[in-house]
Amino acid sequence: MDIDTRLLRYFTTVCEEGQLTAAAARLFISQPTLTKQIRRLESQLGVQLFRRSRDGVTPTAAGCALAAHAAALLAGWENALRATRQTADKAGGTLRVGFEGSTINLVGLRTMAEFSRRMPGWQVRMRQNNWFDPTSGLATGDIDLALWHAPSSTAEEFATAKLGTEERWAALSVEHPLTAHEVLDFADLLDEPFVAIPQESGAWRDYWLGAQERGGRPARIAAVAHNADEWLAAVACGQGIGFAPESMRRLASRPDVAYRPVRGLSPSQVGLYWLRDQPVTPAMAAFIRSCQETVQIG
């Protein structure tokens, strides 16, 4: 029987936390998504892994048996990946970097040239982030580094190489009445319809809706986009507004979308992120250094 290692990682995190809510927050996914994945694992194994109560969840006897082996299995897989990558480092290979929407434009020829100078024979493969995976592929090993605009608190969960700080601006259709203002107040946007990213994106959805600044007041979701192009098109068509990095007005401009600064909205930390327990390979270090020397924020 083939089991996705991601499901085992979810399972062990729930065991360690004893609560689905805490485990989901640690994994950067929504609680419904985590519950669905645990049930998927139970279905594949044909056993009940947890007993659920008001106080949380506790492993069943079958769950305890799996927990006794799952950590070793995951550690063994990580060791195998590490050995594979170390071998590849010696022979040359490919560094996989995830990016979000317009952030791909932050990395240009100068960055790649600097990386090639530091790592001859190596290539960088850029991949747009998957909005249905809160880690963009870091947890599954699909990418080595993620280029993110993120809240400063993200540095508590992931290892980070900071590149700069950038304001979050509002993106609106040029027909929207609020475009008459040069600067917008966050309070004036509370009742506006928003174009959101998928619920599966977890904390990222809340961040790009300004949840922290809302103080518990829910956002009015008018449309859900599955990638950056869909999101921008929905804003342009007047389906809702959204928040985006300030640089999007320059890197992803279009005549039917207006961008305005927002008072009362915290800025983003721009940087390269990776899993805290992942060793930094020479290729990762070279790309980080290359970005720090060539990428300009703002």
Q: Report, as ranges of residue numbers, the positions in the chain whose pLDDT lies below 50.
A: none
pTM of the model: 0.70
Helix axes 109-118, 282-294, angle to 10 degrees: 140
Is residue 111 left, alpha or beta, with left meaning phi > 0 and alpha meaning psi from -120 to 50? alpha
Q: If you ran DSSP here, which 8-state letter would residue 134 be given?
A: T
Closest CA to 291 of 162, 142, 154: 162
Report d(CA 7, CA 5) in Å as an integer: 5
Structure tokens at 78: 């990580």
Report pLDDT for 288.
96
257 sits in which H/E element: strand 257-263
pLDDT for res 92: 60
Nearest to 149 by CA among 200, 95, 220, 197: 197
Domains of the chain, CATH where assigned:
5-86 (1.10.10.10), 92-163+269-294 (3.40.190.10), 168-266 (3.40.190.10)
Residue 135's identity, in one-letter code, is: T
The neighbouring-strand residues paired with 166 are 268
Q: DSSP per residue over 100-130, as a string?
A: -GGGGGGS-HHHHHHHHHHSTT-EEEEEE--
Q: With beta carbons less than 8 A apart as the criterion, state whether 29 and 203 touch.
A: no
Q: Where are the beta strands (DSSP E) in 141-245?
A: 145-150, 158-166, 168-173, 184-185, 193-196, 220-224, 242-245
Contact assessment for residue 186 and residue 213, using Cβ atoms and an 8 Å cutoff: yes
In sequence order, what are the beta bridge partners of 93?
none
Q: Give the Cβ contact number of residue 245 at 10 Å.
A: 27
Helix (H, G, I), strand (E, B) or coil at 197: coil
